[in-house]
Amino acid sequence: MRISTSLFSLAVAGLMATSALAADPAAPAVAPVVAASAEPDRMQQTVCRKDKVIGSLVATRKTCHTRAQWAYIDDTNQAFSRDLADNTRSRSNGN
């Protein structure tokens, strides 16, 4: 009860202060506060993935990175697997 009463009194004091500023024509004009950006950068959002643990049927491991980091990891893994496949195809048989 005490917390809600103090929040109520704080809200009332804030309303009284804003109405007093609006009533005084000599008070300086205050520019409205505009949010810096409405939407955060999508590549900086954190994304978590669950990976299966080798040797277990049920266990998973949660790994979290930003979208930019996941893109780098995925590109690196694709390049490695592509190079591995190319190198094994180009080798001669048995010599």
Q: Does the residue 35 lie in any domain? A: no
Stretch 39-66: mean pLDDT? 93
Is residue 79 in a domain? yes
Could you report how far apart the first and last alpha carbons of the chain are, in Å?
A: 85
Q: What is the pLDDT of residue 30?
A: 60
pTM above 0.75?
A: no
Give the DSSP H/E element, type plus range, for residue 45. none
Give the residue numbers spanning the domain of 50: 43-90
**pLDDT band per the 50, 70, 90 thresholds, residue 5:** very low
Residue 3 falls within a domain, yes or no?
no
DSSP element (H, E) containing 50: strand 46-52
Mean pLDDT of 58-71: 96
Phi, psi of 10 (to 5 degrees): -65, -40
What domain count does the chain have?
A: 1
Q: What is the pLDDT of residue 40?
A: 76
For 54, phi then psi, to 5°, come to -70, 130
Greatest mean pLDDT among 6-15, 38-47, 76-85 lies in: 76-85
Contact 50, 62 (CB under 8 A): yes
Q: Looking at the domain assignment, is residue 53 inside a domain?
A: yes
Question: Mean of the pLDDT values across residues 16-30?
Answer: 54
